Amino acid sequence: MRTAITGGTVVTAIETVLADVLIEGEIVVGVVHPDSEMTRTFAEGADRVIDAQGKFVVPGGIDAHTHLQATGQIAPVLETFETGTVASAFGGTTTIIDFAFMSGDERLPDGYERHRENAAGECAVDYGFHIMVANVDEQSPKEMDLLVREGVTSFKMFMAYPGRVYSDDGQILRMMQQAAENGSLIQMHAENGIAIDVLREQAAERGDIEPLFHGVTRTPILEAEAVHRAIALSEVAGSPLYIVHLSSSNALEEVVAARDRGLNVFAETCPQYLFLDLSDLDRPDFEGSKFVCSPPLRPQEHQDHLWRGLRTNDLQVVATDHCPFCWEQREIGRNDFRSIPNGLPTLEHRMELMFQGAVAEGRLSLNRWVDMCSRAPAKMFGLYPRKGTIAPGSDADIVVFDPNSPHTLSVETHHMNVDYSCYEGMRMTGQVEKVLLRGKVVVDGTEYLGTKGDGQYLPRDICSNLL
């Protein structure tokens, strides 16, 4: 199957060029000048020519932080591998890296194997896994080595959620030492969960039980403290460190200071911390519960700092932390914010939201948009250059993006399996128009053209992003 995407502007993290993209089967074989001989002969013999006049042609997005079919919380995530990845395809994200988790007294490889079975044959986009680590003991570092050899090269640890997935500093240091040996990347949920639990309990005792108090008790000071401590532990271990879902200017300052000292410290933020804020948790009639995630939404003044961090590359990656819960599941915590399941639905909207905030509103360049949504996560998580760019030899995961197609985000039109939108009514300037997964057109406007199981499992290399 030969496909030519003609007349568009190809945008990668590095350059913006008027070029045609030539695809043979699943692979890009050329990015060439529109008037070249190669384009002419290729287009003549092509099975399909996609006209991208006036559109951007960008590498498929990579969302490095999703929780599909997760069951570790108060309520199960009802977004399945099938529903979540179809929504992902509609949003121009052609690769996800999902979190496999250990339940009960499972070992590290058990969670991975269960998650792989659940995902097999279900996914609409390509997928890999990180592991959520709990119950660290003397076996855990060896299990980590085993998984790295299988292509699972990143491990999330928690300084939050005592009694569930929390690890203490000794457990974290031990895993970081092993990561320094085997080349894997420790991802940190950095919030001081022990101190936060005291504040949560005190709030509930006072009768402060509304969703807003979820935000108020998880103060940014305790996010920054945990980031600082995680950096210190990784420096001692000599391992790189990646902070997930960084939400506050306080935490960002710690990352900036570490990077200024030349440490291999990286961080991601999420659209919710750039577009939503603490006041959303205070919406009346328990509506605020729709916005409960951890770390929580912050006062609006944090947002400029995060945009600046993206501009200076102190924040490298934008991922969604997609972890949706329906309204009925939120209701579990109506009488106590501590019982509201944590996580927001964003997977489908990341590319368009980030185009809006970055490019349409003039904060960042087109290339930076592609970098933080595609190339940086590919490099960070061992998928580059197969993914994250449009170049000869890379997978033909491609989005034809219309920069001038105003539309409104809404539960009425999204494909995520959740009965509200945290972005309801938000106006977007640009829109995903066509999506190719390894050369196959899987989305064309509002039509889904893929087949269940199109997505392939991706064993990953180690991070290729070190300073």
> x-or-dash pattern for Zn ion, window 172-211, by CB under 5 A?
-----------------x----------------------
CB of 44 to ligand URP, least distance (A): 50
Residue 305 interacting partner from ligand URP, Zn ion, none (CB closer than 5 to 8 Å by kind): none
What angle is formed at CA 269 by the lines to CA 347 and CA 201, rounded to 5 degrees?
95
Residue 154 interacting partner from ligand URP, Zn ion, none (CB closer than 5 to 8 Å by kind): none
Task: Note the residues at the interface with ligand URP (CB under 6 A).
Answer: 67, 189, 245, 293-294, 321, 323, 342-343
Does residue 460 contact residue 383 with C-beta atoms inside 8 Å? yes
CB of 415 to Zn ion, least distance (A): 20
> x-or-dash pattern for Zn ion, window 310-329, by CB under 5 A?
-----------x--------
Q: Which is nearer to ligand URP, 249 or 272 (CB)?
A: 272
CB of 10 to Zn ion, least distance (A): 32
Alpha-carbon distance 357 to 276, whole Å?
12
Residue 350 interacting partner from ligand URP, Zn ion, none (CB closer than 5 to 8 Å by kind): none
Alpha-carbon distance 119 to 127, whole Å?
9
DSSP-assigned letter for residue 116: H
Residue 222 interacting partner from ligand URP, Zn ion, none (CB closer than 5 to 8 Å by kind): none
Which residues is 63 bridged to in the sheet? Answer: 96
Q: Which residues contact 374 (CB under 8 A, 6 or more apart)?
A: 13, 58, 59, 60, 61, 62, 387, 388, 389
Residue 293 interacting partner from Zn ion, ligand URP, none (CB closer than 5 to 8 Å by kind): ligand URP
CA 197 to chain centre: 26
Which residues is 21 bridged to in the sheet? Answer: 5, 31
Which residues is 313 bridged to in the sheet? Answer: none
CB of 460 to Zn ion, least distance (A): 18
Residue pointed to by tokens 């993209």: 21
Q: Which is nearer to ligand URP, 241 or 323 (CB)?
A: 323
Q: Which is nearer to Zn ion, 268 or 395 (CB)?
A: 268
350 binds Zn ion (CB under 5 A): no
Q: Which is nearer to ligand URP, 342 or 421 (CB)?
A: 342
Residue 389 interacting partner from Zn ion, ligand URP, none (CB closer than 5 to 8 Å by kind): none
Q: Which is nearer to ligand URP, 186 or 323 (CB)?
A: 323
Residue 342 interacting partner from ligand URP, Zn ion, none (CB closer than 5 to 8 Å by kind): ligand URP
Residue pointed to by tokens 């009802």: 78
134-143 burial string, b = 16+ CB within 10 Å, else e? Answer: bebeeebbeb
Does residue 95 contact residue 384 with C-beta atoms inside 8 Å? no
Instruction: Give the gyration radius of the chain's Cα atoms.
Output: 21
Q: Which is nearer to ligand URP, 28 or 165 (CB)?
A: 165
Token couple for 387: 């993914």
Q: Which is nearer to ligand URP, 8 or 128 (CB)?
A: 128
> x-or-dash pattern for Zn ion, window 269-308, by CB under 5 A?
----------------------------------------
Q: Which is nearer to Zn ion, 166 or 423 (CB)?
A: 166
Does residue 384 contact residue 464 with C-beta atoms inside 8 Å? yes
Which residues is 66 bridged to in the sheet? Answer: 98, 322
Q: Which is nearer to ligand URP, 321 or 352 (CB)?
A: 321
Query: Residue 38: phi, psi to the nearest 5?
Result: -60, -45
CB of 9 to ligand URP, least distance (A): 35
DSSP-assigned letter for residue 396: -
Q: By C-alpha distance, which of 160, 166, 215 is closest to 191?
A: 160
| CA distances in angstroms from 80 to 2, 76, 122, 447, listed in the order given | 32, 10, 9, 20
Q: Which residues bind Zn ion (CB under 5 A)?
A: 189, 321
